[in-house]
Structure 1
Amino acid sequence: MKFLITAQDTAGNVTLNRASVPAALKKAGELISDGCWNVEIVTPDGATYNPGEFDQLRERAGPAGPDISLATQ
């Protein structure tokens, strides 16, 4: 399953994908640290999470470990 991470930087739009919630959260955090804005994570079911909602996404994924994806729940 793909988790899309979208953001904007000085060069334009950025769209990346990751296979798990922890990986998507990590990349989103890196993008924010690098100065990107409008960072969002879109889950395989189409739900969109903004930085203020990343804790909700983390809770939704559960405490299963570093590589769990929502697809395995």
Structure 2
Amino acid sequence: MFKSVLIIIFVIVMLFVIRTVLQRLKQPATKAKSLNTQDTVKCLQCNTYIPRNDAIVKGDTAFCSTQHLEDWNQNH
């Protein structure tokens, strides 16, 4: 009887460990994928790419800083 209980406990622990390991193996792939899919725009002044959320957008153009926006306005 006691031997059967130990075997059942062992099987449950092994299933839990396997499930945990598989979940951890899947997580880095999803994090890397989300980083690669971030939308970027090109600064019109210096031609660097920046995340759309960090860009300063004026009309159809994007800038990486307010200084570049001011410089662009002065030159054009």
Q: What is the TM-score normalised by the length of structure 2?
A: 0.28
Using structure 1 for the length normalisation, give the TM-score: 0.29
Taking CA–CA contacts closer than 8 Å with sequence separation of 6 or more, which of the two structures ends up with the larger relative contact order? 1
Answer 1 or 2: which has greater helix percent.
2
